[in-house]
Amino acid sequence: MAGPRGRASYLTDEEKKNSPKITKELITRVFSYLKPYWKQLALVLVCIAVSSVCSLFPSILTGNIIDVLTGKEMGGWIGAGISALVKLIILSLGLTLASSLIGVGETYLNNWIAQHISYDMRNQMYRHLQKMSQRFFTSANQGDIITRMTSDISGVESVVTNTFTSILSNTMTLVVALVAMFQKSWILALVGIAIVPVFTLPTRMAGKKRWKLAGEAQACNDEVNGILNETLSVSGQLLVKLFGREQSEYERYEEANGRMISLNIRERMAGRWFFMLLHTLTSIGPMLLYLVGGILIMKYDSTITVGDITVLVALLGRLYGPVNSLLNIQVDWIRSMAMFTRIFEYYDMKPEIDDKPDAKELKNAKGDINFDHVSFTYDGERMILKDINFTLRSGDCVAIVGPSGSGKSTIVNLIPRLWDPTAGSVTFDGTDVRDLTLHSLRDEVGVVTQETYLFNGTIRENLLYAKPDATEAEMIDACQKANIYDFIKNQPDGLDTMVGNRGLKLSGGEKQRISIARALLKDPALLIFDEATSALDSISEAAIQAAINPLIEERTSILIAHRLSTILAADEILVVRDGEIVERGTHKDLVHAGGTYQELYETQFSKAIE
Ligand SMILES: Nc1ncnc2c1ncn2[C@@H]1O[C@H](COP(=O)(O)OP(=O)(O)OP(=O)(O)O)[C@@H](O)[C@H]1O
């Protein structure tokens, strides 16, 4: 039969092209994940072996039952008559029961092992991804990361529960059935074996057609899901509404939906006639055995009994399933190895930014920052920062201004080591940031980002993210300083107000003030404030300005500023243009100097205070 959707029994052209190279190292690595569970695995093997044998024996015993019924004694080990019959029946039932019970235990163990392996792999992957640098997250496809974490690792579960056990149990069943068949009659066994491919090969061919259709239906299904994701998301819906595209989006959805159902129907009907014919033909197998067996009994070999022929027919019926499954094993195997290879590719990516083996802890941080001839490129080609030099003494406040894209955010991102400089060095309290442990360094750097990111939870939960053990009083104090407490107090749920998906239930200004309160709670030695470029009304702007002041009062701070009020709060202004510091000084020094600052002042800052 065709494989189920998603785990079909045929490789796609792409899968064939990208088949992994199966090396000894790869297999050893795959098996290293099984190693901690070797005891449970050994038990599964025993269960499979015993249950395969137990499940076949009732078929073999049926022959003996028939022989007893037809008056043929068997080897004398059980005696003829009613008592032998009862014993055989009880034995047969007992074996069936035993096989089912073992099957239950085996399924439990199997799933237990699979879930534990997947648990180990997911945790390992999460830990590893957390260490990956900003470059990885800005360039990797987000969907790809999620797929590795979910589908690929879930796929591993099915490798353990299906592929491994299917190989074992099918091989076991096949071997036991064949041995039993040959033991009864080698001629009839050969006749049986000759019949098997007549049924299994056409089944595979019909399955392939069905699988192709399933693939098309899946692609169509993905398209439908894509439309749903795009048009029913918060921002998608907004766009549809604002542009009045409801009808055209509905038509697009209806068309794809219609295509999907017709493909589904075709897929489910594909090969249906063929299987009907096949089903009828299946009876040919037993008939052939009856014919050849009958001729043998009547004309040549009187040792074969009617019971033997019944057993052979029953066993023949048990061969199709395992043969079909084993024919698919190669596909399952390649697919599983490809899955492991994809997962291992992720594991093998080296974190670009990591602690040095001898990294030092940053203790009693003061917040002295120095940029010494720092240059930086993201892609190895375009220099984004060129020879940046500046010093910030503990308690200083510097504003970085410059046109959009001039490199302001890039400069500050080098301090908490979201990136490392291409040349030159950044020091924190006199030590190169690359020689400090990431954890201790980032503990001392608080960043209020331009795009405020809040988790979908309560205000309290978002605040506690900065300091999990903060007391209620500390939280209220931080909110008061950040000028957001009045707003929180007026909410019916206070600090337990839900902020919505990414903080969507709050205005831009409110979100930013909560994020300032969060930074205040963290109480870092250095504060970086990346001011939002988006326009705020003057009341929100004043509220934010009042929130920033306590932040910068007692600590070193860097403000990426777009508004004059923020710039005026700084001790020094660094003007960046095309990755270079082109001017520095105070507002008074620069506003009439005829340079970039004056230009920015006339085009942006002065407007912002109107
Ligand atoms: N992850 C990245 N990969 C490649 N290039 C980047 C990346 N991030 C930023 N850039 C580029 O680096 C340059 C400087 O960007 P940066 O964000 O530092 O500018 P900015 O001065 O902070 O701008 P804005 O005021 O608009 O926020 C831009 O040309 C930008 O396109």
Q: pLDDT digits over 541-581, tens only?
A: 677 777 777 777 778 999 898 877 778 878 899 999 999 99
Mean pLDDT for the stretch of residues 90-108: 90
Owner of token pair 């040959």: 182
Domain 10-183+321-352: state its class. mainly alpha
Q: Whose CA is nearest to atom 1 of ligand 1?
A: 138
Structure tokens belonging to residue 556: 């070193």
Pocket test for ligand 1, best of 133, 134, 375, 378 (most atoms within 8 A of CB): 378
Pocket test for ligand 1, best of 132, 385, 409 (most atoms within 8 A of CB): 409
List, in order, residues 6 or more apart from 383 with CB less than 8 Å away.
375, 376, 377, 422, 579
Residue 112's pLDDT band, with cuts at 50, 70 and 90, is very high
- How many angstroms does the Cα of residue 384 sit away from the middle of ligand 1? 8
**382 phi-psi bin (left φ>0, alpha ψ -120 to 50, beta other):** beta
Rounded to the nearest integer, the mean pLDDT of the chain is 83
> How far is Cα 110 from Cα 323, in angstroms, rounded to an integer?
22
Mean pLDDT for the stretch of residues 35-51: 90
The ligand 1 atom nearest the CA atom of 450: 27
Res 51: pLDDT: 86
Q: Whose CA is nearest to atom 16 of ligand 1?
A: 407
Count of Cβ atoms closer than 10 Å to residue 295 Cβ: 12
Q: Whose CA is nearest to atom 13 of ligand 1?
A: 405
Q: Which residues of 187-223 are buried (b: 16+ CB within 10 A; e: fewer)?
A: bbbebbeebbeebbebbbebbbebbbbbbebbebbeb
Residue 77's pLDDT band, with cuts at 50, 70 and 90, is very low
Res 80: pLDDT: 56
Q: Whose CA is nearest to atom 11 of ligand 1?
A: 405
- How many angstroms does the Cα of residue 502 sit away from the middle of ligand 1? 23
> How far is Cα 486 from Cα 512, in angstroms, rounded to an integer?
15
Q: Whose CA is nearest to atom 31 of ligand 1?
A: 405
- How many angstroms does the Cα of residue 356 sit away from the middle of ligand 1? 27
- How many angstroms does the Cα of residue 509 sit away from the middle of ligand 1? 23
Residue-wise DSSP of 426-475: EEETTEEGGGB-HHHHHHTEEEE-SS----SSBHHHHHHTT-TT--HHHH
Residue 265's pLDDT band, with cuts at 50, 70 and 90, is confident
Mean pLDDT for the stretch of residues 44-71: 83
- How many angstroms does the Cα of residue 421 sit away from the middle of ligand 1? 15
Q: Is the pLDDT of residue 130 over 50?
A: yes
| 607 phi, psi to nearest 5 deg | -65, -40
Q: Name residue 528's beta-bridge partners.
A: 447, 558
The ligand 1 atom nearest the CA atom of 407: 18
Fold match, 10-183+321-352 / 186-303: yes
> How far is Cα 293 from Cα 610, in angstroms, rounded to an integer?
104
Mean pLDDT for the stretch of residues 151-165: 80
Structure tokens belonging to residue 138: 């800005």
Q: Whose CA is nearest to atom 9 of ligand 1?
A: 410
Q: Is the pLDDT of residue 16 over 80?
A: no
pTM of the model: 0.71
Residues in contact with ligand 1 by the CB-under-6-Å rule are 138, 378, 384, 402, 404-410
**Residue 324 · residue 14 · CB < 8 Å:** no
> How far is Cα 228 from Cα 246, in angstroms, rounded to an integer?
13
Q: Which fold, 186-303? A: ABC transporter transmembrane region fold (1.20.1560)
- How many angstroms does the Cα of residue 375 sit away from the middle of ligand 1? 14
What interface predicted TM-score (ipTM) does this complex get? Answer: 0.97
> How far is Cα 11 from Cα 340, in angstroms, rounded to an integer?
16
Which range, of 183-187, 369-373, 409-413, 538-542, averages the lowest pLDDT? Answer: 538-542
Q: Is the pLDDT of residue 425 over 90?
A: yes
Which strands sit side by side in the sheet containing 383-392, from one edge to the other? Answer: 383-392, 369-377, 423-428, 431-432
Structure tokens belonging to residue 527: 């504060």
Residue 3's pLDDT band, with cuts at 50, 70 and 90, is very low
Q: Is the pLDDT of residue 251 over 90?
A: yes
- How many angstroms does the Cα of residue 257 sit away from the middle of ligand 1? 41
Q: Whose CA is nearest to atom 17 of ligand 1?
A: 409
Res 333: pLDDT: 80
The helix/strand/coil state of 538 is helix
Q: Which helix (H) or strand (E) holds 580?
A: strand 580-585
Res 113: pLDDT: 92
- How many angstroms does the Cα of residue 267 sit away from the middle of ligand 1? 49
Beta strands in 281-392 (DSSP E): 369-377, 383-392
Candidates 324, 398, 347; CA nearest to 156 is: 347
> How far is Cα 428 from Cα 441, in angstroms, rounded to an integer?
8
Percent of the chain with pLDDT over 70: 89
- Architecture of the domain delimited by 365-444+526-610: 3-Layer(aba) Sandwich (3.40)
**For 567, which DSSP code?**
H
Q: Whose CA is nearest to atom 28 of ligand 1?
A: 405
- How many angstroms does the Cα of residue 404 sit away from the middle of ligand 1? 8
**Domains of the chain by residue range:** 10-183+321-352, 186-303, 365-444+526-610, 456-523
285 against 532, higher pLDDT: 285
Q: Name residue 360's beta-bridge partners.
A: 436
| Chain length of the chain | 610
Percent of the chain with pLDDT over 90: 20
The residue type found at 265 is I
Q: Is the pLDDT of residue 4 over 50?
A: no
**434 phi-psi bin (left φ>0, alpha ψ -120 to 50, beta other):** alpha
Candidates 585, 589, 524, 519; CA nearest to 394 is: 524
Res 603: pLDDT: 80
Res 302: pLDDT: 66
- How many angstroms does the Cα of residue 407 sit away from the middle of ligand 1? 6
Candidates 445, 442, 313; CA nearest to 392 is: 445
**For 70, which DSSP code?**
T
The ligand 1 atom nearest the CA atom of 406: 21
Res 384: pLDDT: 93
The residue type found at 404 is S
Which of the residue ranges 105-119, 210-224, 473-487 has the most confident prediction, judged by mean pLDDT?
105-119
Q: Which helix (H) or strand (E) holds 157?
A: helix 153-158
Res 7: pLDDT: 44
The predicted-structure confidence for 198-214, as pLDDT tens digits, reads as follows: 766 666 666 777 777 77
**Residue 325 · residue 105 · CB < 8 Å:** no
The ligand 1 atom nearest the CA atom of 576: 21
- Give the Å distances, CA to CA, from 336 to 220, 433, 553: 25, 42, 58
| 18 phi, psi to nearest 5 deg | -100, 20
> How far is Cα 328 from Cα 343, in angstroms, rounded to an integer?
23
Q: Whose CA is nearest to atom 4 of ligand 1?
A: 378
Q: Is the pLDDT of residue 389 over 80?
A: yes
Residue 511's pLDDT band, with cuts at 50, 70 and 90, is confident
Res 6: pLDDT: 42
Which of the residue ranges 173-187, 328-342, 418-432 has the most confident prediction, judged by mean pLDDT?
418-432
**For 603, which DSSP code?**
I
Pocket test for ligand 1, best of 406, 418, 449 (most atoms within 8 A of CB): 406
Q: Is the pLDDT of residue 306 over 50?
A: yes
Tell me the pairing of strands 431-432 and 423-428. antiparallel
Res 536: pLDDT: 58
Q: Whose CA is nearest to atom 7 of ligand 1?
A: 378
Mean pLDDT for the stretch of residues 271-300: 78
Q: Is the pLDDT of residue 159 over 60?
A: yes
Residue 281's pLDDT band, with cuts at 50, 70 and 90, is low
- How many angstroms does the Cα of residue 410 sit away from the middle of ligand 1? 6
The ligand 1 atom nearest the CA atom of 533: 25
The predicted-structure confidence for 473-491, as pLDDT tens digits, reads as follows: 988 988 888 888 888 888 8
